[in-house]
Structure 1
Amino acid sequence: MRAECTEVQVRPGVEADLDALTALYNHYVRETAITFDTAIFTPEERGPWLLSHPEDGPYRLMVATEPDTQEILGYSTSSPFRMKPAYATSVETSVYVAPGAGRRGVGTLLYTALFEALSGEDLHRAYAGIALPNEASVRLHERFGFRHVGTYGEVGRKFGRYRDVAWYEKELP
């Protein structure tokens, strides 16, 4: 991990973060195939998503900020894996790092904080879907103990091209 990481602060996300988090996510919607959303969101549309990630419980939102400016550098989440009751001990995780904040270890800090926050919850597995190609995300997930369990071929279409999604799984303590 790089030394500059120690200056980044990670905390639970709060309602005051909504505009910045929406703008960050919309960058990925507009510019990348990382997410399969294809239309940008307003903060009002994104509000229920933020509120579905309280400061406790299995569904968390962790935010990385610059200590001086409080500029949001990225966020990580744990969300329901599937809505059926038998899946309640599984979560889907994700990390989004702001443009220009990559290669600083922000994703590593966010996942470290997320998994520490989840350690006391009644959870058994974490899953992550990675739209391919995305070597940085594959490396991050493998560093955190995720293992590749399969790939959905051409499961989504964005920017006129079909995309594969690799699925990764991690046992939670």
Structure 2
Amino acid sequence: MPTEHTEVQVRPGIEDDLKSLTAIYNHYVRETAITFDTAIFTPEERRPWLLSHPEDGPHRLMVATEAETQQILGYATSGPYRPKPAYATSVEVSVYVAPDAGRRGIGTLLYDALFRALTGEDVHRAYAGIAQPNEASERLHARFGFRFVGTYREVGRKFGRYWDVAWYEKEL
């Protein structure tokens, strides 16, 4: 397990990361309502998702690794907000941190790198949906200038109950 003082590097995601990224995501699928996916994925099933995040353009994948071991500590993405053409300058962003790497500032490092990577891209707004309650995610998004715009009540059902999603936006 990485220590609190381990150096962390952030870089674009690559295909070799797929197995680790899938394991991190599957943790959140199995254990939390942070994502509304309800069935775990194989790395092969997640490959199209990874390939939809090239090293340039508005849809990015940034990966945090422990510098010495290259262990993946988390990732952040920007992806299409909605599929219709008029939404092309809007992205939905998210960040996932490995369960044993929390409370180390990994999310902050990832979002910092993601928003720097989006500078100069034709992106006008970033949106984030946060399943409630999730104070840590709300604090992270506030730190990056996101503002609350509304809540979809009981929009998702997982683990036998309904969940609200609070929506936040940030001008880019």
Partner of 1:68: 68
Task: Please list, as runs of the form range in 1=range in 2, the aligned pairs for 1:126-141 lying within 5 A after superposition.
Answer: 126-141=126-141
Mapped partners of 1:57, 1:4: distance in 2: 33
Partner of 1:97: 97
SS for the counterpart of 2:166 is strand
Structure 1: 5+ residue stretches without partners? none
SS for the counterpart of 1:4 is coil
Q: How many residues align?
A: 169
Partner of 2:8: 8
Partner of 2:83: 83
TM-score normalised per structure 1:
0.96
Partner of 2:108: 108
Q: Deviation of residue 167 (structure 1)? A: 0.2
TM-score normalised per structure 2:
0.97
- What is the letter of the counterpart of residue 13 of structure 2? G
2:152 equivalent to 1:152: yes
- What is the letter of the counterpart of residue 12 of structure 2? P
Deviation sequence 1:47-86 (CA, Å, 0-9, x none): 0000000000000000000011110000000000000000
Q: Deviation of residue 4 (structure 1)? A: 3.3
- What is the letter of the counterpart of residue 79 of structure 2? S
* Greater than 6 Å deviation, 4+ residue runs: none
Mapped partners of 1:36, 1:115: distance in 2: 24
SS for the counterpart of 1:100 is helix
Identity of aligned residues (%): 82
Partner of 1:47: 47
Q: Deviation of residue 120 (structure 1)? A: 1.1
Deviation sequence 1:81-138 (CA, Å, 0-9, x none): 0000000000000000001111100000000000000001011000000000000000
Task: Please list, as runs of the form range in 1=range in 2, the aligned pairs for 1:18-57 lying within 5 A after superposition.
Answer: 18-57=18-57
SS for the counterpart of 1:21 is helix
Mapped partners of 2:50, 2:115: distance in 1: 18
Mapped partners of 2:75, 2:68: distance in 1: 18
Mapped partners of 1:148, 1:100: distance in 2: 29
Partner of 1:171: 171
- What is the letter of the counterpart of residue 57 of structure 2? G
Mapped partners of 2:93, 2:163: distance in 1: 19
